[in-house]
Amino acid sequence: MKHGRKIFSLSLGLLACIFLSAGCGDQGAETETDRWMWVESIDGESKESTEQTEEIMKEQDEPGEDMDTGPNYEDISITISAAGDVTLGNHKDQGYSGTFREMYDTTEDPDDYFFKNVKEIFEADDMTIVNLEGPLTLSEDYLPDKKFNMRGDPLYAEILLKGDIEAVSMGNNHRLDYKEQGCLDTVEALENVEIVYAYDDNIGIYETKGIRIGFVSGNQINAGGTVEKYLEEGIKKLREEGADLVLACCHWGVEGDYYPTARQKEIGRKCIDWGADLVIGHHPHVLQGIDHYQGKYIVYSLGNFCFGGNRNPADKDTMIFQQTFTFSKEGKAQPGEARVIPCSVSSVSSRNNFQPTPLEGEDYDRVLGLINEYSREYHVEADEGGILKSDPEAD
Q: What is the pLDDT of residue 72?
A: 66
Query: Is the pLDDT score of 13 beyond 70?
Result: no
Query: Which residues does residue 251 pair with via DSSP β-bridges, in sequence order?
Result: 219, 282
Q: What is the pLDDT of residue 332?
A: 81
Are 371 and 291 spatial neighbours (Cβ–Cβ below 8 Å)? no
Q: What is the pLDDT of residue 70?
A: 60
Mean pLDDT of 143-158: 96
Are 137 and 173 spatial neighbours (Cβ–Cβ below 8 Å)? no
Q: What is the pLDDT of residue 378?
A: 97
Beta carbons within 8 Å of 362's beta carbon, 6+ residues apart = none
Per-residue pLDDT band for 393 (boundaries 50, 70, 90) equals confident
Q: HEC profile for 258-288?
A: CCCCHHHHHHHHHHHHHCCCEEEEECCCCEC
The Cα 77–Cα 335 span in angstroms is 10
The Cα 384–Cα 303 span in angstroms is 21
Per-residue pLDDT band for 43 (boundaries 50, 70, 90) equals very low
User: Quick one: what percent of the chain has pLDDT higher than 70?
Assistant: 83
For 65-83, what is each residue's pLDDT tens digit?
A: 444 456 666 679 999 999 9
Q: What is the pLDDT of residue 97?
A: 95
Mean pLDDT of 199-207: 97
Beta carbons within 8 Å of 67's beta carbon, 6+ residues apart = none
Q: What is the pLDDT of residue 222?
A: 85
For 106-141, what is each residue's pLDDT tens digit?
A: 999 999 999 999 999 999 999 999 999 999 999 999
Q: Domains in the chain, please, with CATH?
A: 73-394 (3.60.21.10)
Q: What is the pLDDT of residue 100?
A: 97
Please provide the average confidence, as pLDDT, over all residues in the chain: 87
- Global pTM reads 0.85
Of 198-207, 218-227, 314-323, 373-382, the one with minimum mean pLDDT is: 218-227
Mean pLDDT of 331-345: 93
**Closest Cα to residue 281, out of 296, 265, 294, 262?**
265
Per-residue pLDDT band for 323 (boundaries 50, 70, 90) equals very high
